[in-house]
Amino acid sequence: MSGLTAPKGTFDTLPPDSTRFLGVRDTLTAPLRQAGYGYIETPAFEDTAVFARGVGESTDVVQKEMYTFDDRGGRSLTLRPELTAGLMRAFLEHRLYSGALPVKIWSVGSAFRYERPQAGRYRHFTQVDCEALGVDDPALDAEVVALGVQGFRDLGLTDFELLLTSLGDDTCRPQYRELLVAYLAKLDLDEETRRRAEINPLRVLDDKRPEVQAQLGDAPLMVDHLSDSTRAHYDAVRQHLTDLGVAWTEAPRLVRGLDYYTKTTFEFVHDGLGAQSAIGGGGGYAGLSAALGGPDLPGIGYAVGVDRTLLAVRAEGLDVGASAGVQAFVVPLGAEAKRLAVRLVGQLRQAGVAADTVYGDRGLKGAMKAADRSGASHIVVIGERDLAEGVGQLKDMSTGEQTAVPVADLFDALKRATVGP
């Protein structure tokens, strides 16, 4: 060991287990690709203002969790704590809104938050992000939610739940906010919570402490104070979800960690994860474009945590993306056979057969061990005596059957055996 370790709250994803990470990541994004969402990639860091304005100054993420630094040119940059704000910045910078709407995009990549590490909560993690921008349509909200659900279903997950609510918008949230502030003002709260109640009263509803929860029993809820337009929107979203075969649980106290959410708001939670039960979440964000200096355009999207979803997959005992290993493995003995093996493996790979051989001087025993570990269904051993006879020994690992195959026919024989004629 060098004495150097991965930074606190981060971890390495190593082979062979890493295929499971890739399996989860790719299964979560497949429904988005299939639905015609376009891939977008933006930098892992942005001007700090993108998040300060986009995520919201009053949020924990912005106040306590951002990796913010000045670069050598004196610019304040921040490692992205989430992907949406950066995608919105790109959407605005490149005026994607001047083309056909909605603009549907997805991305996947690293996010960074200075959080207290625990199981399922890391300082570096990976999010899959899905966004539909520029159109306000309950059917689009339902589409986005359903695509998220599809990813979990495709993984084989069953112990997850969709929590759903509406956070209203400009037509009703300000009035509701006043109601809630007045309600909270009468409660017995500590100084910090009282301050929070003034800046972001909705967050107090989410306070997990029993002494706070005990006082919130009859707190006014946003869903009971929606305007006619936001109520109609929410009703339509639920109708479309029913049509799409998506079940949900009403969660009138659902509050999300980021400030920009409006109207349809949701979270995906999983039973098997303990305290960090959220595997994804999202919602509408009518104010985000304007907050970043763009036109007044709506959007809806979600972020799913790949790492936490992988934990959920494990909790349900599912085996996603297990490494298939190689199909063919060549064991050469001696320099001449080695040259043949390298050429054969190269040809097989070009022909689309997953093939491998041994490197370094491993001896017969070591080489056979490597062949075994490779998971290959077919192994060729080319010994010195074989070579003198112009053959290699082809072994079918499923039957144990071994045949001597002329060297010139090995490629065809392996190809036939592994991918068919």
Residues in the site for ligand AMP, rule: CB under 6 A?
Answer: 82, 113, 115, 120-122, 125, 127, 256-257, 278-281, 303, 305, 307-308
Strand (E) or helix (H) holding 267? strand 262-270
Residue 136 or residue 307: which is nearer to ligand AMP going by CB? 307
Find the shortest distance in angstroms from Cβ 167 to ligand AMP: 14
Determine the residue type at 113.
R
Find the shortest distance in angstroms from Cβ 27 to ligand AMP: 15
Helix (H, G, I), strand (E, B) or coil at 154: helix
Find the shortest distance in angstroms from Cβ 291 to ligand AMP: 16
Find the shortest distance in angstroms from Cβ 278 to ligand AMP: 4
Residue 201 or residue 301: which is nearer to ligand AMP going by CB? 301
Find the shortest distance in angstroms from Cβ 130 to ligand AMP: 12
Find the shortest distance in angstroms from Cβ 151 to ligand AMP: 12
Find the shortest distance in angstroms from Cβ 83 to ligand AMP: 8
Distance CA 406, CA 390 (A): 6
Q: State the burial class of residue 400 (Cβ atoms within 10 Å of its Cβ: 0-12, 13-18, 19+).
A: exposed
Residue 127 or residue 418: which is nearer to ligand AMP going by CB? 127
Residue 169 or residue 307: which is nearer to ligand AMP going by CB? 307
Site of tokens 């949900």: 248
- Answer for the pair 231, 224: CB distance below 8 angstroms, yes or no: no
Find the shortest distance in angstroms from Cβ 307 to ligand AMP: 5
* Nearest residue to 415 (alpha-carbon basis) of 368, 353, 370, 360: 353
Q: What does the block give as tokens for 276? A: 């960090």
Helix (H, G, I), strand (E, B) or coil at 136: coil
* Nearest residue to 305 (alpha-carbon basis) of 243, 357, 358, 257: 257
Distance CA 169, CA 264 (A): 10
Residue 10 or residue 175: which is nearer to ligand AMP going by CB? 10
Residue 163 or residue 341: which is nearer to ligand AMP going by CB? 163
Residue 59 or residue 327: which is nearer to ligand AMP going by CB? 59
Residue 18 or residue 175: which is nearer to ligand AMP going by CB? 18
- Long-range CB contacts for residues 177-185, cutoff 8 Å, separation at least 24: 177/201, 177/202, 179/220, 179/225, 180/205, 180/219, 180/220, 183/219, 183/220, 184/219
Question: Residue 219 — left, alpha, or beta (φ > 0 → left; ψ -120 to 50 → alpha)?
Answer: beta
- Answer for the pair 158, 322: CB distance below 8 angstroms, yes or no: no
Helices (DSSP H) in 186-223: which residue ranges? 191-199, 201-205, 210-213
Find the shortest distance in angstroms from Cβ 114 to ligand AMP: 9
Site of tokens 């704000």: 85
Q: How many CB atoms lie within 10 A of CB 299?
A: 27
Distance CA 51, CA 84 (A): 9
Find the shortest distance in angstroms from Cβ 256 to ligand AMP: 6
Residue 10 or residue 242: which is nearer to ligand AMP going by CB? 10
Residue 125 or residue 176: which is nearer to ligand AMP going by CB? 125
Task: Report which residue's Cβ sits closest to ligand AMP.
Answer: 305
